[in-house]
Amino acid sequence: MRILACLLILAGACGDDDASTPDAAALDGALDRDFGPAPTCDAPAPADSSSCAPLATDYAPGADDTWDACVSDDGEYHRVQESISSIARVGAFEAIADLLFDPAAPPTSDDFLAARMLYQEEEGLDSRVARRYDPRFEVPEGTDCTQPGVPEEFPDYCVGPATLQPLILGGLNQGIAAADPTAAARVEAGLLWFLYASTNKEAYTCTTAAKDCDSSYAYYTGGEAARGGLGFARYVAEAAPVAHDRAWDGLLALRCWRDLDDAETATDLETRDLARAQLDTAITYGFAQILRARLGAMCDAGNGEVAAYHWAFVRTAGPALYATLGASERATVEAQVALDDPGAVDVAAFAAALDAYDCP
C-alpha cells in the first residue's frame, strides 16, 4: 500500500477537478460486474497486402528511387536534435501498459492510481493530449485549441481537449473508483489514438520546426533504432508487420525531405506532401489492422470479461479513423461502435469497412 499512500498525497496536485479518491479499502476491491458470455462470431481473416507495392514517388532508403541522396539513405533515422522529449512520453505509455492493458489480468484500483500519476507527470502525456489537434480536419486559419470554447466549436480538429483528455482521465478515474477492466481498455484506446494523431501532426508541423520531424519519429517508434519500435509501433508491428515497415520508410522519407529542404521554414512542399502521405498511409493502415486484430481477439476470447475489454477498445478507438474513411465505410463503423453489447456487433461488416484501407 506504500504506492497508494504516495499517490493519495500527490493526487490533489494533478490538476483534475473530478479526481476524487476513494478510501484504501474501497480501492482494493475490483468491480463486481457480470460481463455475460463471450460473443459467438468468426474472427476476420488477416488483411491480404501481398499484392501491395510502393508508389513510384515513394522514398525507399538506399534504393534507386526518384529522391536525391540524403541523410536517410543508410536506413537509420538521424535526429535533428539529440534530445527528443516525446520519447519519455512513449516510455510513460509503456509503463501504463504494464499496469493496465492485460485483459486476462484486470488491474486493481492501485494500478489505475499509479497509471494516472504516470499520465499526469509534468510535461508528460496529459500536457500534450490537452492541446493535440488533428490537421486532417480543415478549420479557419489561426484556430487555437488551447483557447476557451474552441474545442467545443471544432471538436474533430481539437481532438485532444475535446475527446481524448476527458476520455483518458475519465477511464483512469473510473478505474480508481471501481477497478473496471473496460476502463483500462478505453484508456489504452485513447492513448493509442493520441500517439497515432501525434505522429501525423508532428509530421505536419515539421514544415516550420524541423525538430518536429523528430517528434513524429518518437511518437511512432518511442525512439528505437531502425525498424524497431515501442508504443504505437509495437502495436502496428504485431498487427501488420508490412505496415510497420512502410511506416519506417515514411519516417525516413520525412527526414530525407527535411535534410534536402533544411531552411528554417521548408519550401519544397511538394516533396513534403509526398513524405507525409507515405507516412500517414502506412500508420492509418496499421491503426486499422490493430482494430481488425482486436475484433478477432474479441471473437476468440471465450470469456465474457476479456471479450468486453477488446470491444471497449475497438469502439473507443474506431472514431480515430473517421477522417480517413469514405462515407459508406464511416457509416458502418459508426453504427457498430454505437453498440454496447459485443455480441451484437456485425464483425464481418466492420472488417469489410476496414478493408477500405487496402495497402499501406
Please determine, for residue 9, whether its predicted confidence score (pLDDT) is greater than 50: no
Please determine, for residue 6, whether its predicted confidence score (pLDDT) is greater than 70: no
Give the model's confidence band at 11: pLDDT under 50 very low, under 70 low, under 90 confident, else very high: very low
| pTM for the model | 0.91
Give the model's confidence band at 33: pLDDT under 50 very low, under 70 low, under 90 confident, else very high: low
User: So what's the pLDDT on residue 37?
Assistant: 82
User: So what's the pLDDT on residue 12?
Assistant: 36
Which residues contact residue 44 at a Cβ distance below 8 angstroms, ignoring those fewer than 6 apart? Answer: 292, 295, 296, 347, 348, 350, 351
Q: What are the respective helix, strand and coil percentages of the chain, to the nearest 5?
A: 60, 0, 40
Which stretches of the chain are assigned E, i.e. beta strand? none
User: So what's the pLDDT on residue 32?
Assistant: 52
CB atoms near residue 221 (< 10 Å): 28
Is residue 295 exposed (0-12), middle (13-18) or buried (19+ Cβ within 10 Å)?
A: buried
Tell me the C-alpha to C-alpha distance, in Å, between residue 353 and each of 110, 201, 323, 358: 38, 25, 14, 10
User: So what's the pLDDT on residue 20?
Assistant: 37
Residue of 299, 291, 287 lying closest to 315 (CA atoms): 291
- Buried-state track 250-275, b at ≥16 Cβ within 10 A, e below 16: bbbbbbbbbbbbeeeebeeeebbebb
Radius of gyration of the chain (CA): 21
Please determine, for residue 25, whether its predicted confidence score (pLDDT) is greater than 50: no
